[in-house]
Structures are given as C-alpha cells and as structure tokens.
C-alpha cells in the first residue's frame, strides 16, 4: 500500500509492507548493499531505504538511482540500527521512473544560496528550506480558511480584472487587448478605450476589498483570499508585483470589533501552524532565524497593545532614538518607527489607531475631529506593519466628499455609493498580505522565497 513518508516516519511499525514514491536526495554505496534517502515532499525528514546486493537487477538499478531521480520502492519496514532514525525501509523492489544526470543536476549535497535557488525555481522545492517554506505556507492557508469558516464567514471570490483603483495610488498593471503596435487614438491623442475589450481602461486588482464590502452588505461576514497585483517598481526583500491577500469584511462592526477579530486571527493562525508543522518551524528556528519560535510565542500569548497614532508619535519623539526618517504628526510611520514601538518599547504586537486623514484611503471612516480616520494597523516585532484595516465610511455625503478630495472619478464608484443609499450600516474590515505573514512566521529574509513563483520588476520566470 502506498504511504506518505511523513506518516511512515510518524507511525510506521516494523514488519509493515509498504510502498513509497519520491525523489532520491542522496545515495551511498557499500560493498554488499547501498543506502538511499528518499523524500516525497511530505516532511522535512527523508526515509532511508536499504538495497541489498541480491535485489533483482541491483547493479542496473543502482546506476539509475542518482540524486534527483524519481523512484518507487516497495519493501518491509525494519528497525533502524542507525542513530537518529527509528525505522528504515528494506527494499524488495525498486522502480526508477525518471533518472537524473549526476553531472548536471544542480542540487548537490551542500548549502546553496537563496539567490541561486531562485534561478532554478523549478527545482528549489526539493531543498529542505524551500520544502519547509511551502509546507508552512500550505498550513497557514489552511488555518486562514478554518478560522473564518468556524466563525460563519462566507468565502467570496472577488474579480482579478477591475476598472477601479481601491487604494487610489495608481500603481496598477493594465489589462488590454489592443494592438500595442497600432494603438487606436482619439482626436485628442488619448487612447481610444472604446475599442478595447471592456470598452474602458481595465487593470489587475490591487485589492478585493470594495467588492468584499458589496458581499458583506448581503451576507454580513465575508472574506476574500486570492491574488492581488501592484505595479510598484520596488526591488526590495518585502515587495512583490503579484501576491495573495486575505481581506475579511464585517457588517454591523466598528473599529473595536475589527481589532478584536484581527488579533484573534493572528493568534489562531500562529497556534495552528505550530501544531501542524512543528518540525518545519524547529528547522526555521535552528537554521534561519533563532527567534522564530519566540516570535510565535509573543504573538500567541500576549494581549496586543492598543494606542492611537497621536500617542505613537509622542512616544517616538520622546524616544531620543535617531531615526533615518522624520517623526512628525501627519507623516506616515515608517518600518523603523513601527519596529521600534513593537520591538523596543512595548516588546509585543501593537495596534495603532486613528491615523491622519491625509495618509489613509478614501473609504476609511472620518472621525468626529475631521482630522483622523478610524483606521488601525497591527505592528509586529521584526517586521512592522502586518495588518491594515479600518471601519469603512458608511455615510453617503462624507464618502462622496472623500472620493472627490482624492481626485478620483466618482462615476467609477457609483455602485459603491449605492451601498450607502440602500441599507447602509457601519462595517469594518482589514487586509493582510499572505506572503508577508509567511515570511514573518518563517524568518525568511526575502519575500521572493516564500512564494513558489515570484513576480517582481523584470522577474517573470517559470
């Protein structure tokens, strides 16, 4: 019977007959027998396979069984005399599906740089580190769905192609069917979008939030979990042009309810991953960042501090710390400011609320002082902002004023305005960059190493 290696290592017993399929990590030949380590991606650890010399076609099989080759091995589990492993598989039959040239196979038994592994993205999942990353990524995704489904949220699929700019930043990737060698133009020399596929400018979405608000106005509690895009020319360790976002929206919810849900959400996801990927998380703590488990404990077992933006600025100004970027009321907090508050001052996650109107999006609810909005960011040690959310503006007149103030075309938001005309209600939500969360959880230094196929400026391989 075919078994996954993770399950075999966890609960397999001597004398069990099993069959495994996977890829050879290493091979070692001795005089009377040979050892090979096989991995099928289900666990960090390999299953050791023992091949006796009397195995049918032993010499021929051994020639094909090189690192990287795919194999199927049948046999019986036996107690292992070697230190550090409980059982091993004594092979009675082995089949090589696809051999691998040991002279050209790029993954050798040594430590490779992450830059090199990005250049062979089609093979890097076979390494210990990237294998652990993608198992944790899967566990995080599973925990996200479990958290919201257990609370009765509806998972909604928001459009990837859109005509509206949710953030108002203009960093959108265009979608067109026009012939770029002969673009139709109006007398004004502007592009004639009436001849394009949608009849107007279209883009890849930067957020599913506005559409999630639509669904929340019918289903109360919803969440999106899907890809989003930014045409931001940032070649940094924290930016991607294509990334996944988690965005819940809740009707009949204010800023306090939004903060409560976001805090419970982070605690739940971290706890779930520690329970389901203990070996992978131990690996990250040992090999990548020795504070990974400490950071997880800090998230799970601390009540998050809650302070206003105004208070945060006061604390930064009084810190006597020299920052690269200026600290001043009205300016956005930079990563160094956020990390100081979370790492140095409070030494735990911090929720900063009520940001100045000038640095936040049009859809955030205007506070009574008309200087700030009911926004919140969760700042975490080692990374800074990890969650951004707000109570949404439910008043039609205020929303219309805010859209115009940001220079956006109000006609593009007619449907969004209708939500305030027909049964408006206070509502709130937040957004979390999925890759940022995986990066934070694993301690990986570069965000391009926590997504299977990174998309960034001048990077679109695989």
Confidence of residue 374 (pLDDT cuts 50, 70, 90): very high
Tens digits of residue pLDDT in 416-441: 999 999 999 999 999 999 999 999 99
d(CA 251, CA 5): 45
Does the structure show a pLDDT above 60 at 28? yes
Sheet holding 154-155, edge to edge: 154-155, 221-229, 242-251, 427-433, 384-391, 372-380, 350-356, 305-308
User: Considering only CA atoms, which of 96, 220, 212, 203 is closest in space to residue 152?
Assistant: 220
Tens digits of residue pLDDT in 160-202: 999 876 665 558 999 999 999 999 999 999 999 999 999 999 9
d(CA 23, CA 71): 6
Q: Is 251 helix (H, G, I), strand (E, B) or coil?
A: strand
Does the structure show a pLDDT above 90 at 233? no
**Mean confidence (pLDDT) of the chain:** 94
Confidence of residue 296 (pLDDT cuts 50, 70, 90): very high
Tens digits of residue pLDDT in 62-76: 899 999 999 999 999
What is the pLDDT averaged over residues 360-365? 95
pLDDT of residue 238: 80
Question: How far, in Å, are 218, 357, 442 from residue 249 at the CA level?
Answer: 11, 21, 27
Share of the chain above pLDDT 70, in %: 99
Q: Are 36 and 26 in contact (CB under 8 A)?
A: yes
Tens digits of residue pLDDT in 238-249: 889 999 999 999
d(CA 321, CA 319): 5
Instruction: Give me the helices (H) in 277-413, please.
Output: 278-283, 292-300, 309-317, 335-339, 396-405
Angle at 229 between CA 357 and CA 114, to 5 degrees: 115
Q: Is 155 helix (H, G, I), strand (E, B) or coil?
A: strand
Instruction: Please state at what angle helix 255-276 crosses helix 128-150, rounded to 10 degrees.
Output: 130
DSSP-assigned states of every residue in 64-132: H--TT-EEEEEEEEEE--STT-SEEEEEEEEEEEE---TTT-S--SSPPPHHHHHHTTTTGGGSHHHHH
**DSSP secondary-structure letter at 213?**
H
User: Tokens for 449?
Assistant: 């190493």
Q: Are 430 and 253 in contact (CB under 8 A)?
A: no
User: Considering only CA atoms, which of 388, 302, 387 is closest in space to residue 346?
Assistant: 302
What is the pLDDT averaged over residues 113-131? 96
Confidence of residue 305 (pLDDT cuts 50, 70, 90): very high
């Amino acid at each position: 019977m075919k078994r996954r290696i993770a399950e075999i290592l966890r609960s397999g017993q001597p004398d069990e007959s099993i069959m495994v399929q996977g890829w050879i990590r290493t091979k070692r030949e001795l005089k009377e027998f040979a050892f090979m380590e096989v991995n099928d991606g289900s666990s960090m650890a390999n299953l050791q396979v023992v091949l006796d010399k009397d195995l049918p076609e032993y010499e021929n099989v051994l020639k094909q069984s090189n690192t990287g080759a795919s194999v199927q091995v049948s046999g019986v589990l036996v107690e292992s005399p070697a230190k550090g492993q409980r059982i091993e598989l004594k092979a009675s039959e082995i089949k090589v599906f696809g051999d691998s040239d040991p002279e050209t196979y790029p993954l050798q038994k040594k430590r490779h740089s992450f830059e090199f592994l990005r250049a062979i993205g089609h093979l890097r999942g076979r390494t210990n580190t990237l294998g652990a990353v993608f198992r944790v990524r899967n566990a995080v995704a599973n925990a996200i769905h479990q958290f919201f489904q257990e609370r009765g949220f509806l998972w909604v699929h928001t459009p990837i192609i859109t005509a509206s700019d949710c953030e108002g930043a203009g960093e959108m990737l265009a979608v067109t069917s026009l012939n770029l060698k002969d673009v139709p133009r109006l007398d004004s020399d502007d592009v004639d979008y009436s001849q394009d596929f949608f009849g107007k400018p279209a883009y890849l979405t930067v957020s599913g939030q506005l559409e999630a608000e639509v669904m929340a106005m019918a289903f109360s509690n919803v969440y999106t979990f899907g890809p989003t895009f930014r045409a931001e020319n940032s070649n940094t360790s924290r930016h991607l042009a294509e990334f996944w976002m988690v965005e819940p929206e809740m009707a009949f919810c204010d800023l306090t309810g939004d903060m409560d849900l976001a805090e419970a959400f982070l605690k739940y996801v971290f706890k779930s991953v520690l329970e389901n990927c203990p070996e992978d998380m131990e690996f990250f703590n040992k090999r990548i960042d020795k504070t990974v488990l400490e950071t997880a404990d800090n998230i799970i077992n601390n009540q998050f501090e809650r302070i206003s933006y105004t208070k945060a600025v006061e604390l930064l100004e009084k810190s006597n710390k020299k920052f690269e970027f200026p600290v001043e009321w009205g300016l956005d907090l930079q990563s160094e400011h956020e990390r100081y508050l979370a790492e140095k001052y409070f030494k735990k996650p911090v929720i900063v609320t009520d940001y100045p109107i000038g640095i936040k999006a049009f859809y955030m609810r205007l506070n009574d002082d008309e200087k700030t909005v009911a926004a919140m960011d969760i700042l975490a040690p080692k990374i800074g902002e990890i969650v951004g959310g707000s109570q949404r503006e439910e008043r039609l007149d205020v929303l219309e004023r805010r859209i115009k103030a940001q220079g956006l075309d109000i006609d593009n938001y007619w449907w969004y305005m209708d939500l305030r005309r027909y049964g408006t209600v206070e509502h709130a939500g937040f957004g979390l960059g999925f890759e940022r969360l995986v990066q934070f959880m694993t301690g990986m230094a570069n965000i391009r190493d926590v997504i299977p196929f990174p998309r960034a400026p001048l990077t679109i391989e695989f």
